[in-house]
Amino acid sequence: MALVKYGGGIVQMSGSIAGNVHARNRYGNYVRARTKPTNPNTALQVAIRASIAFLSNRWSQTVSDAERIAWNLYGASVAMKNKLGETVYLSGYNHYIRSNAIRKMCGHTIIDAGPVVFEIPEADPTYACTASEATQQISNAFDITADWSTEDGAYIYFFQGQPQNPQRNFFAGPWRQFGWTAGIDPGGALSPEPSAVKFAITELQRQWTYARISRADGRLSEAFRADCFCEA
């Protein structure tokens, strides 16, 4: 991997060109050789592909013209960030797939009607996790006073990263969805939420997790992260 300092008109690059992958992490820009990943065709990969195919077909065959217009208006009104940190606007189709893919995978209600609130849900700055080797569980703590917590049809979804050595300070994947909590009206969701791990964990390993909030109208937040050291 080579570190890169751009100049001469090039400020930032992301993606593959002529066998090289240009990217950026917390230490700056870098270039590495492009490798073609294998396709193990695991059960999880098959399930995810099937979900995307299902939603794509549903968008064209089931979602009404009025609902597609509403999703397109939502997409045109909600600013997102691309890999270069630039402001972009996704299509209504992109947001429909983005918002509903996790719902489909978890067996939750798919939202066909486009949102009428033009902003993604806020991240939870209090989100934290603890991990236990003895129970092989990760507990996810979150703000029970957040709006989604008392909203029927809203969820917070949790994702576990592959455990790492304790000296590791950066992690970018792989991830597995391993738990969720539903909003409850009245009363609110209960925190913390313990979930069985997808990757086995051992004492002192460093564990990363992230979460996303899905509101009842289908709006999906950006990912927000937490990490901890696994306890005995």
Write the DSSP assignment of 170-230 as a string of letters. -----EEEEEEEE--TTT---SSEEEE-SS---TT-EEEEEEEEE-TTS-BPPPEEEEEEP
Predicted model pTM: 0.84
Cis bond before residue 192 (omega within 30° of 0): yes
pLDDT at position 3 = 59
**Cα 174 from Cα 163, distance rounded (Å):** 10
- Write the DSSP symbol of residue 150: G
Residue 1 confidence (pLDDT) above 60? no
Check whether 2 has a pLDDT greater than 60: no
Domain boundaries, the chain: 2-33, 43-106, 128-229
Q: Mind listing the pLDDT tens digit for each residue in 98-133?
A: 999 999 999 999 999 999 999 999 999 999 999 999
Tell whether domain 128-229 is in CATH 2.60.40.
yes
* Residue range 166-216, pLDDT digits in tens: 998 888 889 999 999 999 999 999 999 999 999 999 999 999 999 999 999
pLDDT tens figures, 12-67: 677 777 677 777 666 566 777 777 666 767 888 888 899 999 999 999 999 999 99
61-94 residue pLDDT tens: 999 999 999 999 999 999 998 877 788 899 999 9
